[in-house]
Homo-oligomer: A and B are copies of this chain.
Amino acid sequence: MLIKFFIKPRKGVLDPQGRAVAESLKSLGFNDVKDVKVGKYIEVYIEDKEKDKALEEAKEMAKKALVNDLIEDYEIEVVEVR
């Protein structure tokens, strides 16, 4: 089973990486770039289990280890891997 975490800086929190990427894209000619957010994409492979159990476990992982709740927002996707 695969749990996907999409973690990004919370709105209003300074995102120097995002700003740097935006500047470099514009310097490469991508002039229609308005804003960039840079965050973490984490894939966690776990033993198979019921989806809602996996979701609960994912939230615990986010809270305890993967997400800084003061400055980051996140989304989770649970995917059954065949």
**Residues of chain A at the chain B interface (Cβ within 8 Å):** 6-8, 21-22, 24-25, 28, 30, 32-47, 49, 57, 60-61, 64-66
Contacts and interface: CB of A to CB of B under 8 A. Distances in A.
Copies in the complex: 2
Contacts of A32: 46-47, 49, 57
B36 A45 contact: yes
A33 B39 contact: no
B42 A21 contact: yes
Contacts of A39: 40-43
Contacts of A60: 30
15 contacts: A6-B6, A8-B41, A8-B43, A21-B44, A22-B44, A30-B60, A34-B45, A34-B46, A34-B47, A36-B42, A36-B44, A37-B43, A38-B40, A38-B42, A39-B41
